[in-house]
Amino acid sequence: MSRRLKIAAAGAAGAAIIAAGAVPALAGEGAKDRPAVTHEQEAARGQLISARYLGTRSAEEVRAWLATEGFDASSVRYGVDSYRLIYRTVDARGRATIASGLFVLPRNGERKLPAVSYTHGTTSYIGDAPSMAQDVWGPGPAVTYGAAGFAAAAPDYLGLGEGPGVHPWKDVPTETSASLDMLRAARQFAPREHRELDGRVFVTGFSQGASSALGLARALQDGADPHFRLRAVAPISGGYDFGGVELPALLDGRVDAKTSVAYLSYLLTSWNRVHGGIYGKPSEVFKEPYASHVEKYFDGTTPGQVMLKGLPGTPDELLTARGFEVLRHPSGTFAKALQVDGEVCTAWTPRVPLRLYKITNDDQAVTANTDHCAAGFRARGVDAPVVDVGDKVYGGSRHLGSNLAGTALAVRWFAGLR
């Protein structure tokens, strides 16, 4: 999750886990009733609505700014200009909506630029999205790529930033569409600054955003937009096998109990909203007094620390017998969602350079997720090297530390492939 979901009492930081189901087709809420996307809606996707200038930093200012949160500044070559873009996209049911994202341009004088798409880790609060955050954690990776000479696009996802509605957490199809449409909006905006996206796209993301990155990569490789050409993929510390690895770890104590409570709450409330059929009322799966408040905690308007304070310390305090049954013995729409979720590393065959970044003893997205992902690609004949990022720790969390270390490694790798 974001830095603001740090779980200080337990000495562990909530981070961005997960995501998956790298199926570019739209999924979601009442899937069986989902209407087809109209030609007009499809044509409008990625249309730029507005752009807000957020500021300029010199190269020296970028280095100092990144260093305050432990980001590696060794790849910084240029100053940057930052913007918040608002653009048209589609929601989980294929209906027209809008989303926002952070766009960063290097001050290097080059007219034509390759792009990096960075998809962020979990946050439950709209103000922590990359284009909104006032700290370094949220926009730091995009600024890192921009200062290295790329045009960096970091979507806020649906329901975060300035987008309406509630974020459909762990729904790779909408993370994919929001990411693709962010690239399209960035392409429209760039000429206003006398720049041009040259079509090359390097794709990366952290935790929740690691699977989002694979979803975008799959869509680009499949020709979702003829202007953009997938160049390389570098996801960081994803929870790729949620059904087989991550969910059991959240339930058996391998992940800190308070962190597990936050993720399990987010998962059940989000997937019930997106897929339906998990519960009719919150009290079926959540114990009181939490059942009365849990959906509000994850509607985007509650700061992370407030959410954490309001939730209990252990899953036993949170979940009813029915809640545990849903999670331990998935069936119906929940089981189907987990099945799709697990396809992020098994249902497509990358044809570009791919590296999977992980950290040993990951305290959030347990490391076996990455090992399973690599095995899934190997089964399809794809060599997906696994790169250990080292022992970086941020806020007491190795998982969060992997975002800092993985970003430093990915930007250097991408620069070498340009």
DSSP 69-89: TT---TT--S-EEEEEEEEEE
Distance separating alpha carbons of residues 16 and 209, to the nearest angstrom: 8
Residue in this structure with the two tokens 């190269």, named with its chain if needed:
59
Distance separating alpha carbons of residues 359 and 17, to the nearest angstrom: 13
Average pLDDT over residues 199-215: 97
88: its two tokens: 């048209």
Distance separating alpha carbons of residues 19 and 21, to the nearest angstrom: 7
Same domain assignment for residues 102 and 153: yes
Distance separating alpha carbons of residues 106 and 216, to the nearest angstrom: 23
Domain containing residue 148: CATH number: 3.40.50.1820
Same domain assignment for residues 316 and 212: no
Same domain assignment for residues 396 and 326: no
pLDDT of residue 108: 97
CA atoms within 13 A on the CB side of 58: 2
Distance separating alpha carbons of residues 170 and 274, to the nearest angstrom: 10
Which has the closest alpha carbon to 343: 218, 248, 230?
218
Same domain assignment for residues 246 and 236: no
Query: Domain residues for 45?
Result: 16-241+346-417
Same domain assignment for residues 365 and 231: yes
Worst-scoring range by mean pLDDT, 14-18, 97-101, 400-404, 406-410? 14-18
Dihedral angle computed from the Cα positions of residues 253, 375, 175 and 250, in that order, rounded to the nearest 10 degrees? -10
Average pLDDT over residues 283-298: 97
Same domain assignment for residues 375 and 395: yes
With beta carbons less than 8 A apart as the criterion, state whether 347 and 214 touch: no
Cβ-based neighbour number of residue 222 at 10 Å: 10
Which has the closest alpha carbon to 109: 228, 194, 187?
194
pLDDT of residue 37: 60
Which has the closest alpha carbon to 311: 386, 367, 258?
258
DSSP label at residue 128: G
With beta carbons less than 8 A apart as the criterion, state whether 412 and 204 touch: no
DSSP label at residue 154: E
Same domain assignment for residues 70 and 178: yes
Q: In the predicted model, is pLDDT for residue 116 greater than 60?
A: yes
Same domain assignment for residues 212 and 358: yes
Q: Which amino acid is residue 107, in one-letter code? A: R
Average pLDDT over residues 305-321: 97
Give the DSSP per-residue string, 163-175: --S---TT-HHHH
Give the DSSP per-residue string, 262-290: HHHHHHHHHHHHHH--S-SSGGGTB-TTG
Average pLDDT over residues 80-95: 97
Q: Which amino acid is residue 49, in one-letter code? A: I
Distance separating alpha carbons of residues 255 and 248, to the nearest angstrom: 9
Total number of domains constituting the chain: 2
pLDDT of residue 85: 98
Question: Which of 291, 324, 339 is a domain's end point?
Answer: 339
Which has the closest alpha carbon to 408: 215, 197, 140, 184?
140
Average pLDDT over residues 201-226: 97
Share of the chain above pLDDT 90, in %: 88
204 forms beta bridges with 118, 234
CA atoms within 13 A on the CB side of 254: 16
> Quick check: is 5 in a domain?
no
Cβ-based neighbour number of residue 191 at 10 Å: 11
Average pLDDT over residues 118-140: 97
| Angle separating helix axes 332-341 and 257-275, nearest 10 degrees | 110
Question: Which of 309, 339, 369 is a domain's end point?
Answer: 339
Q: In the predicted model, is pLDDT for residue 369 greater than 70?
A: yes
Residue in this structure with the two tokens 């087989």, named with its chain if needed:
244
Same domain assignment for residues 125 and 271: no
With beta carbons less than 8 A apart as the criterion, state whether 242 and 365 touch: no
365: its two tokens: 């997205």
Same domain assignment for residues 335 and 404: no
Average pLDDT over residues 170-189: 97
Q: Residue 14: pLDDT band by 50, 70, 90 thresholds?
A: very low
Average pLDDT over residues 388-412: 97
* Single pTM value for the model: 0.92
What's the whole-number average pLDDT of the chain? 91
pLDDT of residue 28: 35
Question: Would you put residue 332 in left (φ > 0), alpha (ψ -120 to 50) or beta?
Answer: left
- Please state the φ and ψ torsions of residue 396, each to the nearest 5 degrees: 85, 5
- Please state the φ and ψ torsions of residue 57, each to the nearest 5 degrees: -130, 140
Q: In the predicted model, is pLDDT for residue 15 greater than 70?
A: no
116 forms beta bridges with 152, 202
Q: Residue 339: pLDDT band by 50, 70, 90 thresholds?
A: confident
CA–CA distance from 6 to each of 37, 133, 198, 404 (Å)? Answer: 39, 15, 39, 16
89: its two tokens: 């996209």
Q: In the predicted model, is pLDDT for residue 1 greater than 70?
A: no
Same domain assignment for residues 303 and 212: no
Domain containing residue 304: CATH number: 1.10.260.160
Question: Which of 320, 339, 358 is a domain's end point?
Answer: 339
Query: pLDDT per residue over 17-74, tens digit each?
Result: 222 222 233 233 344 344 556 667 678 999 999 999 999 999 999 999 999 999 999 9
Same domain assignment for residues 233 and 258: no
pLDDT of residue 9: 31
pLDDT of residue 11: 36
> Quick check: is 9 in a domain?
no
